[in-house]
Amino acid sequence: MGDHEVLVRVNELVAKEHALEQRHVGTALSDEEAAELREIEVALDQCWDLLRQRRARRAAGGDPDDAEVRPASTVEGYRQ
Protein backbone atom coordinates (compact mmCIF):
# COMPACT_ATOMS: atom_id res chain seq x y z
CA MET A 1 0.00 0.00 0.00
CA GLY A 2 1.49 3.33 -1.07
CA ASP A 3 1.31 6.64 0.78
CA HIS A 4 -1.71 7.77 -1.20
CA GLU A 5 -3.63 4.59 -0.45
CA VAL A 6 -2.77 4.85 3.25
CA LEU A 7 -4.07 8.42 3.33
CA VAL A 8 -7.25 7.42 1.50
CA ARG A 9 -7.79 4.71 4.12
CA VAL A 10 -7.14 7.23 6.92
CA ASN A 11 -9.79 9.53 5.45
CA GLU A 12 -12.29 6.66 5.21
CA LEU A 13 -11.68 5.66 8.81
CA VAL A 14 -11.92 9.24 10.06
CA ALA A 15 -15.24 9.66 8.23
CA LYS A 16 -16.56 6.47 9.90
CA GLU A 17 -15.31 7.64 13.28
CA HIS A 18 -16.97 11.05 12.93
CA ALA A 19 -20.24 9.57 11.68
CA LEU A 20 -20.40 7.20 14.63
CA GLU A 21 -19.63 9.97 17.09
CA GLN A 22 -22.13 12.38 15.49
CA ARG A 23 -24.93 9.83 15.76
CA HIS A 24 -24.39 9.76 19.50
CA VAL A 25 -23.80 13.34 20.53
CA GLY A 26 -25.08 13.50 24.08
CA THR A 27 -25.82 9.78 24.29
CA ALA A 28 -23.71 6.77 25.13
CA LEU A 29 -22.55 4.29 22.51
CA SER A 30 -23.85 0.76 22.71
CA ASP A 31 -21.29 -1.93 23.53
CA GLU A 32 -21.24 -2.90 19.85
CA GLU A 33 -20.68 0.69 18.74
CA ALA A 34 -17.98 1.22 21.35
CA ALA A 35 -16.20 -1.88 20.02
CA GLU A 36 -16.56 -0.58 16.46
CA LEU A 37 -15.11 2.78 17.51
CA ARG A 38 -12.18 1.02 19.18
CA GLU A 39 -11.52 -0.99 16.00
CA ILE A 40 -11.52 2.21 13.97
CA GLU A 41 -9.09 3.84 16.40
CA VAL A 42 -6.71 0.88 16.21
CA ALA A 43 -6.90 0.81 12.41
CA LEU A 44 -6.09 4.54 12.34
CA ASP A 45 -3.09 4.00 14.60
CA GLN A 46 -1.89 1.23 12.29
CA CYS A 47 -2.29 3.45 9.22
CA TRP A 48 -0.40 6.35 10.78
CA ASP A 49 2.34 3.98 11.92
CA LEU A 50 2.63 2.54 8.40
CA LEU A 51 2.84 6.01 6.91
CA ARG A 52 5.58 6.99 9.39
CA GLN A 53 7.50 3.81 8.57
CA ARG A 54 7.25 4.50 4.84
CA ARG A 55 8.43 8.09 5.25
CA ALA A 56 11.31 7.06 7.52
CA ARG A 57 12.47 4.38 5.09
CA ARG A 58 12.29 6.83 2.20
CA ALA A 59 14.23 9.48 4.17
CA ALA A 60 16.92 6.91 5.03
CA GLY A 61 17.27 5.91 1.38
CA GLY A 62 15.39 2.66 1.83
CA ASP A 63 12.41 1.21 0.04
CA PRO A 64 9.15 2.46 1.55
CA ASP A 65 7.41 -0.63 0.17
CA ASP A 66 9.31 -2.72 2.72
CA ALA A 67 7.18 -1.14 5.48
CA GLU A 68 4.50 -3.41 6.89
CA VAL A 69 1.36 -2.95 8.93
CA ARG A 70 2.30 -3.72 12.50
CA PRO A 71 0.01 -5.66 14.84
CA ALA A 72 -2.40 -3.73 17.03
CA SER A 73 -0.49 -4.87 20.11
CA THR A 74 2.61 -3.10 18.79
CA VAL A 75 1.11 0.20 17.67
CA GLU A 76 -1.14 0.43 20.73
CA GLY A 77 1.93 -0.05 22.92
CA TYR A 78 3.26 3.30 21.68
CA ARG A 79 0.56 5.17 23.57
CA GLN A 80 1.97 5.65 27.02
pTM to 2 decimal places: 0.88
Q: What is the pLDDT of residues 3-51, one digit of tens each?
A: 999 999 999 999 999 999 998 888 999 999 999 999 999 999 999 999 9
Q: What pLDDT sits at residue 77?
A: 80
CB distance 47 to 13 below 8 Å: yes
1 has a pLDDT exceeding 70: yes
